C-alpha cells in the first residue's frame, strides 16, 4: 500500500488541526467502496447507509495520523467497511482498522459520531472532525507543556475542573478536553464505558502552557 503526502485539508477543521494533518499525516491508497454497492444492497443494507459510507470514504478514506495518546494509538488509517445494524437500532460502520490489538473496533455511529464498539457502543466525539482535533491537540499540547501528568482510575475524580472551560472543537462526548489558565486536561472515559472498566478512566494533564500552548492559534472554537 502506497502512502502519499497530503495536499488537501478537509473542511471543518481548525487551523491548528489542519496544519497537523498536512505536516504529520499521510494518505494511503484504499479501495473504493462503490464497487461493493450491489453486494451490500443484496445484504439488505439501505442505500442511504451505503451513501453515508461512500461520503465518509471520499472525505476521510486513507487518512493516516500519528498515534493518539490513548486507545493504543487509534485507527491505523481511516477506511470504512460494510455497515452493520438495523432500521430500529441504527447503523454503524468501521472507521478504520486498529493500529494495535485492542478489544473493540473504531466505528462511525448512526449520527456520524466517532467512537468504539466492544461490549457496547460508546461514542467518543460527535464527529470525525472532533477525533482529528483531539489527536492534533494532544500532539500540540505535548510539544509545549512543561510537564505532562497521567492520572488513572478513581484518582481522576480528584481533578478539579471548576476553573476550566470545555475545548469545544473536539466535540467531546465520552472523551473531553478542558482548558485552564495555564494547562489543558484530556479526559478519556471511552474505554471505561465501553468495557465496563472504571479503572480504565484516564486523564492527561498538560501544565505550564503559555497562550500559544493553550490555543495554538485557534480563535473560533464554534466549529
Q: What is the pLDDT of residue 139?
A: 98
User: In which residue are the cell numbers 489558565 written?
Assistant: 181
Give the separation between CA 63 and CA 75, rounded to whole angstroms. Answer: 10
Taking each helix axis from N to C end, the angle separating 47-60 and 128-144, rounded to the nearest 10 degrees, works out to 30
Which cell goes with 165?
472551560
Q: What is the pLDDT of residue 47?
A: 96
Q: Are 136 and 181 in contact (CB under 8 A)?
A: no
Q: Is the pTM of this model over 0.85?
A: yes
How far CA 15 is from CA of 10, 22, 41, 177, 195, in Å, comes to: 11, 11, 39, 18, 34
DSSP-derived secondary structure for 54-106: HHHHHHHTTEE-PPPSSGGGSBSS------EEETTTEEEEEEE-BSS--SSEE
Q: What is the pLDDT of residue 48?
A: 96
Specify burial of residue 87 (Cβ count, 10 A radius: 0-12, 13-18, 19+). Answer: exposed
Q: What is the pLDDT of residue 217?
A: 85
Q: What is the pLDDT of residue 34?
A: 83
Q: What is the pLDDT of residue 222?
A: 38
Phi, psi of 207 (to 5 degrees): -115, 165
Give the separation between CA 85 and CA 103, rounded to whole angstroms. Answer: 19
How far CA 153 is from CA of 74, 187, 191, 192, in Å, comes to: 21, 11, 11, 9
Question: In a structure prediction context, what are the per-residue pLDDT tens digits for the chain, which is 223 residues long?
Answer: 788 899 888 899 999 999 999 999 999 999 888 889 999 999 999 999 999 999 999 999 999 999 999 999 999 999 999 999 999 999 999 999 999 999 999 999 999 999 999 999 999 999 999 999 999 999 999 999 999 999 999 999 999 999 999 999 999 999 999 999 999 999 999 999 999 999 999 999 999 999 999 999 887 443 3
Q: What is the pLDDT of residue 221?
A: 45
What's the sign of the alpha-carbon dihedral 176, 186, 197, 96? Answer: positive
Amino acid at each position: 500500500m502506497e502512502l502519499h503526502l497530503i495536499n488537501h485539508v478537509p473542511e471543518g477543521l481548525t487551523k491548528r488541526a489542519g496544519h497537523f494533518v498536512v505536516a504529520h499525516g499521510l494518505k494511503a491508497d484504499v479501495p473504493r467502496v462503490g464497487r461493493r454497492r450491489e453486494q451490500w444492497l443484496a445484504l439488505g443494507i439501505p442505500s442511504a447507509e451505503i451513501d453515508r459510507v461512500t461520503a465518509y470514504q471520499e472525505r476521510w478514506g486513507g487518512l493516516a495520523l500519528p498515534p493518539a495518546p490513548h486507545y493504543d494509538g487509534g485507527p491505523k488509517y481511516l477506511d470504512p467497511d460494510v455497515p452493520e445494524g438495523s432500521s430500529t437500532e441504527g447503523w454503524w460502520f468501521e472507521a478504520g482498522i486498529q493500529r494495535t490489538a485492542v478489544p473493540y473496533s473504531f466505528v462511525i455511529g448512526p449520527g456520524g459520531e466517532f467512537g468504539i464498539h466492544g461490549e457496547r457502543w460508546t461514542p467518543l466525539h460527535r464527529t470525525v472532525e472532533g477525533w482529528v482535533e483531539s489527536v492534533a491537540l494532544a500532539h500540540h499540547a505535548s510539544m509545549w507543556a512543561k510537564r505532562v501528568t497521567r492520572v488513572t482510575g478513581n484518582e481522576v475524580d480528584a481533578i478539579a475542573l471548576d476553573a476550566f472551560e470545555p475545548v469545544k472543537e473536539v466535540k467531546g462526548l465520552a472523551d473531553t478536553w478542558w482548558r485552564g489558565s495555564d494547562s489543558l486536561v484530556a479526559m478519556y472515559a471511552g474505554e471505561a464505558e465501553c468495557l465496563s472498566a472504571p479503572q480504565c478512566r484516564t486523564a492527561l494533564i498538560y501544565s505550564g502552557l503559555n497562550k500559544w500552548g493553550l490555543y495554538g492559534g485557534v480563535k473560533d472554537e464554534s466549529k
